[in-house]
Structure 1
């Protein structure tokens, strides 16, 4: 039963009061970090902040119950949140109902893919994303995540461009004219609190304290500063026209929907009565398509205009008695009138009433209660559109989770099953999609908090979910005044640890080509952002190409006897070789990409040694042979035999010998061509050549190492 219900392995342990106490403390500690962090990551994913709480509700509990790691803390994470935004922003407006629906569907796709990999025992698939690719991507993602929060840190609004670096430049360019100083000071204060408390004692919940202090300050100073005004109080006719246009659109939509439904019915009737090619059917179809196009264009145009005016800044000229007066476009205040000095913008439009925001942005109303449990709407077209993004998030999210889980399993000496962890993460995302969650994964920072707080079993994550439930049921009003600048600061602090230049340097030292892969993945991820999948795919492709390049020309060494009695590389150590015998060592698997290289090296040796009689292949470095390699050896043996040269093999591994026996190469060459050791092969050759040759052959030099005095 433990195979299907892994939590049965540890559920009995919580009867121990010490284990129960440790898990309770760890679960509460993680929740204190998770609640504010989850809201920040939801904001990063382009979702309303409270959806982060939904993502922190079921996934941590389900992943702990059905995964194999006892300390892995699952929930919203920075990289997966960024990938979610990158996947959805091209097809829907951030925070819109359509965007939220896509995100929930994406969570279902990720969960189904991960669970399928786990059930099919295909966890090894993640190995196709090499470590250098992940290093490069993670470093780039950390920079992208941090810079994506600049607008919230400075309180500015900038146009989003096709590439992330262009958006960052637009944000920086907007700072001198649009910076909202209270927002900036709130963010700076949050940074100061978190950094100071982290240095004083890492165990202090610095994120929670920063959130609590800045939220209280926001409430005290009326940081948001909202005013509800009528359309007549907007002193600009173009803005009034846009708002009235939206009001008109809301009236038109029901009428358009009814007309579209009638046109569709007419088309279906005509199609059934007259067939596809009849002019009456074609006319009905044209009317139906025209109405749909009209509706889409109308909505798109009005929404674009409304979004544009929401970016616009206004000056407010109050009435003489201090009451709310008139709002003018920035810089268009009439001569003689004096503004209140604030920068105002339109927060929302409700009929002919507008909510104006003269302060900073806060989380605002968080719906009270648990999210409703329901299956996401199945739309095959949408699921196919999101499939590639879902696979990317599945693999990267799981790689992050399993690397964390392995590190903790080493520390706790617990058994870890990668396939079971895939099932746990998959079920967590599926459960999340039922409770309005976007994709989740294992968190490095919260897992570290969990294990450092003393978590022994997965019950600590159950406790964490329980605290999130309490927050959703009773504590949501406390989150209204939480500044979004604080959440941006939380995100930036969290991703600082993802930047790891030393890892890139280490990869370069270990293998220069791996260093190149890491750097290329880093640069391309930055260049293609927000299309992050391109950088990952190109990096993974480059890693495979360089791997093939390395294995296409493995090391081939001609061996000779070293004075110490061992066989060494003759060229490297300047050793003499035998004119009748050549010993060649091949360091690598023999497969289709390098068979020609191996054959060329043999032929090159044969061409430079006219008196050559025997070629001994030291095959202890050959781990695998494919059909191409076996075929090449068969033909090579025939050609050498025709030239009066015999090829012998020494040290063949069992899996390679099995291939030779199955294909008949062993039988065709003859059992006398295969030897367990190189010395046995040499003894055989010397007997064939005669004893005099054994004395003269450099391969038989007696050890000349001088004994130490």
Structure 2
């Protein structure tokens, strides 16, 4: 008897005992991470807690993956900063309002994609483009935190110029911040090697709070964080909506690549079903919740999802439990008042430094020089155009699409003659962009063989035939018949049968 691969909806609604421990464990990791990513997005630290609490609760019922942990993530935070920093000064009321509107737009876009079942767009991002962008974005994230981990306030704007100034002026460094930062990175990186659930982040936060509170620490600290639960946010700056459209679109699609990758990986490893459309809906609802909580765009976290799975999560409700734990922590945020900002910056660096993958990027040269060029160009544009990195994404996508279309235009033609006449066999994908090459090749063959009266078109080598190509073939047959030739179609591919029936049938019967 074959076992059904469809999920049991009754079981999916039940909470497994392992979800409680997993949700609690991830919440302890999410609290410091959320505040660190809020700073990366240019938002106050407390908004990071809001989007670590409300969105995962809202998304739990709609999620497809039992492991995916929704909340603030590094790449989406960086993209948020890239979009908003051109419109308002980070941390201001205007900036916070724009961030909420951006989250709302991302939520509407993802919800729409899921509802109309276009979740396959998650697979349309070119891997070379993603590798190039992710590596460059990770470098920018690390550089953006250099002034924080060194306790310096550079007088120069811009991530790279400010970082260069910071690195070249060691006399301004706050050595207590540097020591805490190095310790934090070491605890997180070495802790992962000991065990994936090693609480390196928590230990680093504890050491940082104790050091700042009991010793003479002169570096910047987190300071007073508003306590209490978030109030619903309804007042959005609608006049800025046109300025956010492109950025929201980039975040909605590119920001989904990470949760999609996480969910697909674990679905394959655990042999469980996964639905991209359903996940788009869940991520859309999560961003709507982030918007109304006064937060910023969110996504799926790889590190927290991995910890969720290892901690024993069995259903999607583990994410809701994480959100509930963070929510109940909000009245007690004063315990983190003395947390050095350097620790938060180091948490960000330790989390994303593994995303810098030069070997993988340069390794593309082994397989395809054009694809490697796309990856490398996206990498360089992301660095050069910072903070407008969304433009680099758009250019990278455009280059990948252009390369694909150029390849799709290339067809291979076989032809031969026998007593039955001229045989013509095009191979490849036949669409409006490549149809003209078939027409030109066919005309050239007829010019070389003026004695031919019978023509046999072999279509078995064509993977796809669109309407424009079908009409072109019809015109070829009409022209050939007018010239006194008999045309026969052979090996019509199954995917083209409908076109044969609707477009060519009258020619075949004439």
The alignment's TM-score, normalised by the length of structure 1, stands at: 0.67
Is the Cα contact below 8 Å between 1:137 and 1:521 reproduced in 2? yes
Counterpart pick for 2:213 among 213, 219, 224:
219
Q: 1:468 aligns with which of 306, 326, 333?
A: 326
Judging changes above 3 Å, is the alpha-carbon distance between structure 1 residues 556 and 169 closer, same or farther for their aligned structure 2 residues? farther
1:75 aligned residue: 71
Aligned 8 A contact 2:184 2:200 in 1: no
Residue of structure 1 in register with 2:291 after alignment: 433
Determine the structure 1 residue equivalent to 2:474.
634
Q: 2: CA distance between counterparts of 1:512 and 1:644? A: 48
Hey, what does 1:234 align to over in structure 2? none
Aligned equivalent of 2:413, options 538, 556, 574: 556
Q: Which whole-Å deviations, capped at 9, do the CAs of 1:9-64 have from their partners, x for residues lacking one? A: 445543xxxx31x1122112211211111111111111122221111111112212
Per the alignment, do residues 205 and 113 of structure 1 end up closer, same or farther by CA in structure 2, a change over 3 Å counting?
same
Indicate the residue corresponding to 1:42 in structure 2: 38
CA 1:168–1:587 in 2, change beyond 3 Å: closer, same or farther? farther
SS in 1 for 2:414: strand
| Aligned residue number for residue 586 of structure 1 | 426
Quote the residue 2:171 is aligned against: 177
In structure 2, which of residues 167, 186, 197 is the aligned counterpart of residue 203 of structure 1?
197
Report the CA distance between 1:398 and its aligned residue: 1.7
Task: Say whether 1:618 aligns with 2:458.
Answer: yes
2:133 matches 1:168: no
Q: Which runs of 5+ in 2 are unaligned?
A: 1-6
Larger Rg: 1
Separation (CA, whole Å) in 2 of partners of 1:137 and 1:12: 38
The 3-state SS of whatever aligns with 2:236 is coil
* Equivalence for 1:352: none
User: Would you say the 8 A contact 2:477–2:507 is kept in 1?
Assistant: no
Other-structure match for 2:84 = 88
What are the Cα deviations for residues 511-556 of structure 1, in whole angstroms up to 9, with x where unaligned?
A: 4432222222111111111001110111111111111111112222
1:580 CA drift (Å): 6.6
Distance in 1 (alpha carbons) for counterparts of 2:13 and 2:165? 57
Residue 507 to residue 64, structure 1, CA distance change in 2 (3 Å) = farther
Q: 1: distance between equivalents of 2:473 and 2:463?
A: 15
Deviation string, structure 1 residues 238-267 (Cα, Å, up to 9, x no partner): xxxxxxxxxxxxxxxxxxxxxxxxxxxxxx
RMSD, matched Cα: 2.4
Q: Find out whether 1:539 has 2:387 as its counterpart.
A: no
The 5 A counterparts of 1:401-550 are 401-474=259-332, 476-505=333-362, 507-550=364-407
Deviations 1:421-467 (A, max 9, x none): 11111111111222222111111111111112221012211221122
Contact 1:637–1:669 at 8 Å: present in 2 too? no
Structure 2 distance, partners of 1:437, 1:10, is: 32
Q: Which residue of 1 aligns with 2:102?
A: 106
Asked if the contact 1:554/1:588 (under 8 Å) is kept, the reply is: yes
- Counterpart CA distance in 2 for 1:378 and 1:100 is 10
Question: Could you tell me which residue of structure 1 aligns to residue 3 of structure 2?
Answer: none
| CA distance 1:371–1:411, change in 2 (3 Å) | same
Q: 1:608 to 1:159 in 2, by over 3 A?
A: farther
Per the alignment, residue 144 of structure 2 pairs with 148
* Greater RCO, 1 or 2 (C-alpha within 8 Å, sep 6+): 2
How far residue 581 of structure 1 moved from its aligned partner, in angstroms, is 4.4
CA distance change for structure 1 residues 53 and 649 in 2, over 3 Å: closer, same or farther? same
Corresponding residue for 1:371? 230
What are structure 1's unaligned runs of at least 5 residues? 1-5, 224-358, 560-576, 672-709
Paired residues of 2:97 and 2:236 also in contact (CA < 8 A): no
Cα distance in structure 2, aligned partners of 1:192 and 1:657: 62
Cα gap change, 1:486/1:647 in structure 2, threshold over 3 Å: closer, same or farther? same
Q: Which residue of structure 2 aligns with residue 56 of structure 1?
A: 52
**Given that residues 460 and 492 in structure 2 are in contact (C-alpha distance below 8 angstroms), is that contact kept between their aligned partners in structure 1?**
yes
Matched, 1:30 2:26: yes
State the alpha-carbon separation in 1 of the partners of residues 229 and 90 from structure 2: 23
Match of 1:668 among 498, 507, 510: 507
1 CA distance for matches of 2:418 and 2:167? 72
Instruction: Summarize the Cα distance change of 1:609–1:533 in structure 2 as closer, same or farther, 3 Å threshold.
Output: same
Asked whether the equivalents of residues 196 and 307 of structure 2 are also in contact (C-alpha less than 8 Å), the reply is: no
